[in-house]
Amino acid sequence: MPKAPTELADEVREQVKDKKSYLGVIDRLNKASVEKHWEAYADIPWDDPEFLVDKNDPRWVLPPFDRLGETEWYQSQPQEVRSQIGLWRVATAMKIGLQFENLLKRGLLNYAYRLPNGRPEFRYVYHETTEECHHGMMFQEFVNRTKMPIRGMPRALNLIAQAAPWIPLVSTEMFFVFVLGGEDPIDYVQRKSLKGGHIKHPLEETIMKIHIAEEARHISFARHYLKHRVPNMHPFRRRILGIATPVVLGVMARIMLSPPGPMVRHFDIPKDVVRAAYKNDAAQAEIANSVGKIRDLMAELGVVTPVNKQVWKAFGIWDEPKQRRAVEPARAA
């Protein structure tokens, strides 16, 4: 079994010009899942003293790019309180991540259930489901070791989210937009944290590197699936997809990046501090940046129109798509 990855994984990026190219991508992703994968309880040394989770450990203090960490209120708190807030943020992200991946696994299995014999997507979906099971276990184990009352998604949204696993029965394209809506914002934050050297605790770093390495494959499959399918969609279904996409992304990016309500109440963080930290132009730009890859993909596929662009703007996640570079040959993470 391979050790935890030491470098950030890249997505498989290549043009899907025809069905043969698309099937080639799936074949490479399937092989990568066999050659490079990790198990939650075999590849993470949970009982290593260095991996102990202490809520007062100064390594949990919020990184510089977290807007709350820049506020005078946060800076004035005792070091133990600042550490506990930082750990709560990390644990909440993991709890929301495992809840999202629970929905994702159920949706993937609903999608695979209807696939005919011989379809290569079936094997890939089961590889991804297996990997997501290990992600859920390592996320929950981390949350348990914090001994904090971490809840995850807001209750109201939790009820609505139960519809997500059934989306593939209506539109597989919409389901994989949902997949990217949950995976891309987390991937954006995790990569930024690691590249910036903001992750100080070895347990968090190990979990994050494993997650990034395997999510690169999951993101790649979703993107290539959309590239393969969306150009052939019925115009009416494309219009529906174009309107629904910014709604899904706008809601999900805010869930992933906004401060959890229970944390605000537990630490009695003043409302004006929360507003100053997370309701400003810089924070809104961060949310828009976290869905930048999906937004560029939708523009590339011709899904973005002058009409639905207004929906993107209404949710505060619009930015002019970047000119795409010539893609490199595929490299499976």
Please state, in angstroms and rounded to a whole number, the distance separating the CA atoms of residues 307 and 169: 27
Q: What is the pLDDT along the chain (333 residues), one digit of tens a residue?
A: 445 565 555 544 545 556 888 999 999 999 999 999 999 999 999 999 999 999 999 999 998 778 899 899 999 999 999 999 999 999 999 999 999 999 999 999 999 999 999 999 999 999 999 999 999 999 999 999 999 999 988 887 888 889 999 999 999 999 999 999 999 999 999 999 999 899 999 999 999 999 999 999 999 999 999 999 999 999 999 999 999 999 999 998 988 888 889 999 999 999 999 999 888 888 889 999 999 999 999 999 999 999 999 999 999 999 988 754 433 333 343
Please state, in angstroms and rounded to a whole number, the distance separating the CA atoms of residues 290 and 257: 9
> Which of helix, strand or coil describes residue 91?
helix
Give the pLDDT score at 330: 38
Please state, in angstroms and rounded to a whole number, the distance separating the CA atoms of residues 131 and 211: 9
Please state, in angstroms and rounded to a whole number, the distance separating the CA atoms of residues 333 and 127: 13
DSSP collapsed to 3 states, 28-41? HHHHHHHHCCCCCC
Torsion over CA of 138, 141, 145 and 151, rounded to 10 degrees?
A: 100
Query: 155: Cβ–Cβ under 8 A, 6 or more apart, which residues?
Result: none
Please state, in angstroms and rounded to a whole number, the distance separating the CA atoms of residues 198 and 61: 10
Instruction: Tell me the torsion sign for CA atoms 163, 260, 136, 130.
Output: positive
* 3-state class percentages of the chain: helix first, strand second, coil last, to nearest 5: 65, 0, 35
Element (H, E) at 174: helix 172-195
| Cβ burial 296-316 (10 Å sphere, 16+ → b, else e) | bbbbebebbeeebeebbeebe
What are the angstrom distances between the C-alpha of 59 and each of 9, 74, 77, 188, 257?
A: 24, 15, 15, 21, 20
Give the pLDDT score at 331: 39
The amino acid present at 294, given as its one-letter code, is: I
Assess contact for 318 and 284: CB atoms under 8 A. Answer: no
Q: Which of 262, 261, 263, 233 is nearest to 245 (CA)?
A: 233
Assess contact for 242 and 298: CB atoms under 8 A. Answer: yes
